[in-house]
Structure 1
Amino acid sequence: MRLSRIIMAFTVGLAVAAVPTAAGAAQPQPQPPGYVPQLLLTLNPTAIPLGASFTLHGSGFTPNGTVTIDVSISALPPVAAPAQGTARRSDGSTVAMAAVAYSKPQSSQPQPAPLHFSVTANSAGEFEVSYTPTRVGRYTFTATDEASDPDRTASVTGVVYQKRPPKPPHHDGGGHLPVTGSSLNTPMKLGGGLLGSGAVLLLLTLAWRRRERLGLGGR
């Protein structure tokens, strides 16, 4: 009996001693002197159609420091060009094209997106900025922490592709549009006329045969 009490008291003592240790481990530990957080730069989404926007997010930068962002653009892998004088549809087929002279007004041209700009990190060393590209290509964003010495950088890459044109409206399997009531007027009139002509010819044929049968035909 005495031994079981000793074991129980020892177990309770260990549990009480472990509580402060666990609580201390749960508290955020101060970073050692000279610690520098790792820079992280992300892009969401990583691929967008032309006209949409990227969201650029950075973390690990100097709190309240200036971050400069440089953008470089490279061409996407080329797509096989259609034959001269033709254009490629969205389904991969080609269609003949006729030359048309047209000049878009300069005022309607979108302003090119900047290739160099700056943002300010918040007190936690993070920032978030939206970027809208104006041309197709592969975009590489490089963020530089200007407040660090030496300068630290982080990069991320995204793709901007050409948005496909809308598909033409779907018709029936024969490729014909449905016929409306007004479109039926002419075929019905034509059919009625042919039917009447056929009836007259049939009556004339029967009358001629009857006349021949009675011997009234001309000799």
Structure 2
Amino acid sequence: MRLSRIIMALTVGLAGAAVPTAAGAAQPQPPVYPPPVAALTVHPTTIRLGETFTLHGSGFAPNETVEIDVSISALPVAAPAEGTARRSDGSTVAMASVAYAQPLSAAPQPAPLEFTVKANSSGSFTVTYRPNRPGRYTFTAEGETSGRTASATGIVLPPRPTKPPHHDGHLPVTGSSLSTPMKLGGGLAGVGALLVLLSVAWRRRGRFGMGSR
């Protein structure tokens, strides 16, 4: 009888100890969120030399310093240029890009290939970048504290070629240069009219026998 009571007491004790554990396991656990993913965008993605990129980063640690590395590669030779040209037969053909050589005297300061920006309290930042030569620009941002990285690419095309002034082979006529031929023409017309009158008078004089003998 005592043995059965001991077994029953042990059973009740084990059951009581298991109740809190089961109750704790049944409570909802807080969700586990994955760490933020860093992102970097370039706007606009294609610009002309002399224009500016705008870089926007997000997903970095709050207020951390972000280092941005810039790598530049040449544009493909066979890359089509903007616009088309129309042939005499009516067909169209892609226009070839115009080579651009910048004078050494007007060469701008080289754009930095490495710089840092400060993220705000939400882990975002916005910065501008002005390239100094055509090419494909790859921007890679890395947070110094979080180690999160992101990259984006932008294209820099040569500047639009300036069209030379159109000439049709004739010099422009100005007011002073136009008045001179008009005056000269008027003088010649007057002299011609005077000669005609003298000729008519001379013929009449000869008709009436008034000429010299």
1:36 and 2:35 matched? yes
The aligned runs of 1:1-219 (5 Å cut-off) are: 32-33=31-32, 35-78=34-77, 104=105, 109-148=107-146, 151-164=147-160, 177=172, 179-180=174-175, 182-214=176-208
Deviations 1:87-119 (A, max 9, x none): xxxxx9xxxxxxxxx972xxx642211111222
Q: Provide the secondary structure at the position in 2 that maps to 1:163.
A: coil
The Cα of 1:212 is off from its aligned counterpart by 4.7
CA distance change for structure 1 residues 103 and 50 in 2, over 3 Å: closer, same or farther?
closer
> Could you say which residue in structure 2 is the equivalent of 1:20?
none
CA distance change for structure 1 residues 57 and 119 in 2, over 3 Å: closer, same or farther?
same
Q: Name the aligned partner's letter for residue 205 of structure 1.
A: S
CA distance change for structure 1 residues 162 and 103 in 2, over 3 Å: closer, same or farther?
closer
Q: Provide the secondary structure at the position in 1 that maps to 2:198.
A: helix
Say which is worse superposed, 51-60 or 162-171, in terms of deviation: 162-171
The Cα of 1:71 is off from its aligned counterpart by 0.8
Q: Provide the secondary structure at the position in 2 that maps to 1:112.
A: coil
- Work out the number of aligned pairs and report it: 161
**How much identity, in percent, do the aligned residues show?**
61
CA distance change for structure 1 residues 111 and 165 in 2, over 3 Å: closer, same or farther?
same
Q: Name the aligned partner's letter for residue 195 of structure 2.
A: L
Deviations 1:35-75 (A, max 9, x none): 11222111122223323321111011122223221111122
Deviations 1:172-214 (A, max 9, x none): x99664632x334312320221012111221132134324544
Q: Provide the secondary structure at the position in 1 that maps to 2:133.
A: coil
Q: Distance in 1 between matches of 2:193 and 2:76?
A: 71
Q: Provide the secondary structure at the position in 1 that maps to 2:121.
A: coil
CA distance change for structure 1 residues 175 and 75 in 2, over 3 Å: closer, same or farther?
farther
CA distance change for structure 1 residues 77 and 209 in 2, over 3 Å: closer, same or farther?
farther
Q: Distance in 1 between matches of 2:130 and 2:40?
A: 17
The unaligned stretches of length 5 or more in structure 2 are 1-29, 79-94, 96-102
TM value normalised by structure 2? 0.60
The Cα of 1:159 is off from its aligned counterpart by 2.0
Q: Name the aligned partner's letter for residue 200 of structure 1.
A: L
CA distance change for structure 1 residues 113 and 207 in 2, over 3 Å: closer, same or farther?
same
Larger-Rg structure: 2
